[in-house]
């Protein structure tokens, strides 16, 4: 019986192992740690960890270690090793292999001499020994089970040594401690799978929400997916960069956090009314009110035509004819300006004002072409949204932050709300929703901002504009660098790595992909 000092050492070791197993994220290192500690506990020469196959029909080699043979194989090395079957073709349990015997009985077991026992068929052991000039003698195996007593795998050890270096048998104390270790490993392994499952569920849920938001708009489908893709591509380029980002190394968790932030950056748009989000023209609400305006034009045309027929003098007819021709031009003009653009000229604004004031009198009534509300919409300088509609649209970034901050994430994703909601912030502090400055915007936020901007400029599915060419897009971004709005280093990485072209070949129309003079683009902000 082990003395109290030894028992205390073993308990402390088990506690330390439990903590280490819980914190180990790499599954290969996880099993390596389990096997190393099992070998250390028993002072054995080596061992193997088997894990239950996905179909639960066999045991797969996972980790193998034999100290005397300097053999230390991880998951990648053992992937092609033949599995140990647990059932025959008729579904009967197989006991002939020591590992399958322990797996199917569910009880820990040991043998003093593999060549002198009747528990399992030792032909495989003899064959291994012959081929590898080894002698297997004492063996022990312990099943790993989860909280529902379901098999997860088997830990098998070989050749325990005494203090003098002689091969001895595995004791009951060994089996007791190994069972405790196997139990700890099973709990940690189960929790790891549970956490991974929950993270996968979170990822899938986030992607489905993003897809639903994209589908909600008949125009911007795919925007979120493209922003997430470009965010991931930029992050990967940063990892490979040996220049400005040579000291930046994102961990796998940080890479996943960037990806998730990219997928969730527009979640706040779920609260934006469709008539605002999908306002394809200036007069559009539920339907495009340009049809109402055209109807009024046609009504006045009919009245003018009738008045021409009733005119008593040539002069009156000519004057009415000129008015008719002018109104035809005004009609085409209103249809044109109803489509949003990059800039609305002052003389266009004046002409809309003139059309608004126009009235035609006939049959004792006055007929107008556009209403006050329609005039306000037609005079929108850029795009299709009024100031209050723009505010509603801008609100989505704040709503994204509020919604994402309400969720409980694994600690490693704690910055996800900030990264996602910062995609409209500018380094000069003039962005939204928080007016953050360069010092307050981490690299991850800047990555998503660049991805969102590049996607928005090149997107060809917007209702109010055509997708810009690569030259036009990068020129606009260069001016934004010059104005201190976006990250110069990220823009240069986008260009120098040819990522701008790689993205374009995957997502843009062929006519948008033109030749880009990168040096000329850089001169815009380097002057």
| Cβ proximity of 28 and 65 under 8 Å | no
Q: What are phi and psi of 157, to 5 degrees?
A: -120, 160
For helices 172-216 and 252-264, give the axis angle rounded to 10 degrees: 30
Nearest CA to 353 out of 333, 339, 323 is that of 333
Q: What is the largest CA-CA distance in the chain?
A: 131
Q: What string of H, E and C letters represents the secondary structure of 190-220?
A: HHHHHHHHHHHHHHHHHHHHHHHHHHHCCCC
A 10 A CB-CB count for 207 gives: 17
Half-sphere exposure of 256 (CA within 13 A, CB side): 16
Is 4-194 a CATH 3.30.450.90 domain?
Answer: no
Q: How far apart are CA 13 and CA 34, in angstroms?
A: 12
Q: What are phi and psi of 266, to 5 degrees?
A: -110, 20
Domain ranges of the chain: 4-194, 217-276+387-526, 290-378
| Cβ proximity of 108 and 102 under 8 Å | yes
- Write down the pLDDT at residue 75: 67
Same fold, 4-194 and 217-276+387-526: no
Per-residue pLDDT of the chain (527 residues; tens, 9 = 90+): 445 555 455 555 555 555 555 554 566 777 788 888 889 888 999 999 998 998 999 999 988 999 998 888 776 676 778 899 999 999 999 998 999 999 999 999 999 999 999 888 888 888 888 988 999 999 999 998 887 788 988 999 999 999 888 999 998 888 888 887 787 777 777 766 656 655 666 667 677 777 776 666 655 558 888 999 999 999 999 999 989 999 999 998 899 999 999 998 988 887 777 777 777 777 877 567 888 999 999 999 999 999 999 888 999 999 999 999 999 999 999 999 988 777 889 999 999 999 999 999 998 899 999 999 999 999 988 887 888 888 887 888 888 898 888 877 778 889 999 999 999 999 999 999 999 999 999 999 999 999 999 998 998 766 556 788 999 999 999 999 999 999 999 999 999 999 999 999 999 999 999 999 999 999 999 97
- Write down the pLDDT at residue 67: 92
Q: What are phi and psi of 429, to 5 degrees?
A: 85, 10
pTM of the model: 0.61
508 forms beta bridges with: none
Q: How far apart are CA 218 and CA 329, in angstroms?
A: 31
Q: What are phi and psi of 408, to 5 degrees?
A: -105, 120
Q: How far apart are CA 447 and CA 235, in angstroms?
A: 7
| Buried-state track 103-134, b at ≥16 Cβ within 10 A, e below 16 | bbeeebbbbeebeeeebbebeebeeebeeeeb
Beta-carbon contacts of 407 under 8 Å, excluding residues fewer than 6 positions away, are none
Distances (CA, A) of 410 to 15, 398, 495: 24, 22, 35
Specify the CATH number for 217-276+387-526; select among 3.60.15.10, 1.10.340.30, 1.10.3210.10, 2.40.30.110: 1.10.3210.10
């Amino acid at each position: 019986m082990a003395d109290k000092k030894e028992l205390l050492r073993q308990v402390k070791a088990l506690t330390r192992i439990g903590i280490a197993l819980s914190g180990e994220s790499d599954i290969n290192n996880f099993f390596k740690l389990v096997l190393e500690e099992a070998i250390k506990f028993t002072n054995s020469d080596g061992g193997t960890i088997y894990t239950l196959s996905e179909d639960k029909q066999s045991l797969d080699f996972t980790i193998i270690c034999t100290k005397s043979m300097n053999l230390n194989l991880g998951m990648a090395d053992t992937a092609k090793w033949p599995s140990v079957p647990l059932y025959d073709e008729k579904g009967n349990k197989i006991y002939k292999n020591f590992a399958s015997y322990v797996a199917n009985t569910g009880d820990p077991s040991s043998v003093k001499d593999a060549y002198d026992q009747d528990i399992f068929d030792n032909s495989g052991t003899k064959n291994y020994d012959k081929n590898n000039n080894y002698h297997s003698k004492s063996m022990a195996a312990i099943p790993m089970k989860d909280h529902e007593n379901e098999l997860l795998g088997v830990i098998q050890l070989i050749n325990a040594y005494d203090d003098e270096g002689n091969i001895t048998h595995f004791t009951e104390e060994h089996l007791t401690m190994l069972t405790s270790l196997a139990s700890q490993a099973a709990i940690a392994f189960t929790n790891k799978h549970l956490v991974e499952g929950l993270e996968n569920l979170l990822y899938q849920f986030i992607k489905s929400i993003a897809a639903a938001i994209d589908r909600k708009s008949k125009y911007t489908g795919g925007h979120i997916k493209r922003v997430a893709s470009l965010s991931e591509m930029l992050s990967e380029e940063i990892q490979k960069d040996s220049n400005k980002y040579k000291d930046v190394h994102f961990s796998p968790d940080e890479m996943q956090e960037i990806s998730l932030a990219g997928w969730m950056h527009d979640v706040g748009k779920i609260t934006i009314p469709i008539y605002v989000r999908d306002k394809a023209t200036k007069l559009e609400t539920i339907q495009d009110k340009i049809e109402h305006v055209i109807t009024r034009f046609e009504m006045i045309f009919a009245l003018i035509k009738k008045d021409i027929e009733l005119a008593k003098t040539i002069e009156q007819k000519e004057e009415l004819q000129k008015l008719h021709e002018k109104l035809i031009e005004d009609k085409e003009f209103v249809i044109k300006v109803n489509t949003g653009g990059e800039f609305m000229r002052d003389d266009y604004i004046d002409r809309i004002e003139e059309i608004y004031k126009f009235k035609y009198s006939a049959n004792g009534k006055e007929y107008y072409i556009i209403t006050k509300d329609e005039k306000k919409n037609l005079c929108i300088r850029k795009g299709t949204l009024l100031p209050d509609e723009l505010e509603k649209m801008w609100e989505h970034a704040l709503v994204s932050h509020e919604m994402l901050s309400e969720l409980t994430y694994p600690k490693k994703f704690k910055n996800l709300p900030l990264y996602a909601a910062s995609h409209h912030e500018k380094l000069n502090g003039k962005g939204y929703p928080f007016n953050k400055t360069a010092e307050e915007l981490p690299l991850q936020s800047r990555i998503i901002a660049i991805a969102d901007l590049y996607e928005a400029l090149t997107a060809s599915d917007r209702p109010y504009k055509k997708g810009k060419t690569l030259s036009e897009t990068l020129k606009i971004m260069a001016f934004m660098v010059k104005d201190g709005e976006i990250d110069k280093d990220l823009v240069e990485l986008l260009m120098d790595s040819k990522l701008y072209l790689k993205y374009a070949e995957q997502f843009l129309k062929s006519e948008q992909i033109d030749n880009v003079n990168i040096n000329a683009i850089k001169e815009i902000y380097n002057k």
